[in-house]
Amino acid sequence: MINFNYETDFKLDSETQISKWITETISSEDHKLEEINYVFCDDEYLHKLNVEFLNHDTLTDIISFDYSVGKIIQGDIFISVERVIDNAKEFNVAFDEEVNRVIIHGILHYCGYKDKSDDEAKLMRDKENFYLGQLK
C-alpha cells in the first residue's frame, strides 16, 4: 500500500499512476511492497525532522525512514516541495521530473542502493534515470 499525505498546498496529479510505477519499480528490484507513506511538506517541516532525528541542521529535499525487513519494503518518505522546486530550477529540469526523481530515489534506498561514494551515487543516478524512463 502506498499513501500520499500533504502538509502543504502541493498535490500529485496522478497518485494512481505514480503508485503503479513505484510498485513496479519495487518488483523489478526483486522486493515486495508492504507500506510506504509519502509526506509532501515545506522546508520548515523537513528541517525540523532533519534536526530532531538526524541531528543535521541543514535543508534537504528528502528524508526517508526505512522500516523494511529483508526484501519487504516499508517506510516513511518526507519530501520538501520547496527544495524540489529549487532543485528543478538549479538542474534545469521540469518540476514533475524532479519530484518523480526524488520519489523513486527514496524507493531505491529501500531497495539497498546507497549514494555516499561517487560510484554509489553514479549507480543511484543511473537507476533513477532508468526508472524515470519507465514512468508512463
Pick out the residues of the known binding site for Zn(2+): 105, 109, 115
Contact 7, 40 (CB under 8 A): yes
The three cell numbers of residue 118 are 561517487
- Count other C-beta atoms under 10 Å from residue 56's C-beta: 13
Cell 532508468 belongs to: 130
Distances (CA, A) of 118 to 102, 110, 114, 115, 121: 18, 19, 10, 7, 5
Q: Which residues are annotated as a binding site?
A: 105, 109, 115
Cβ neighbours of residue 36 closer than 8 Å, sequence gap 6 or more: 1, 2, 3, 22, 73, 74, 75, 76, 77, 107, 110
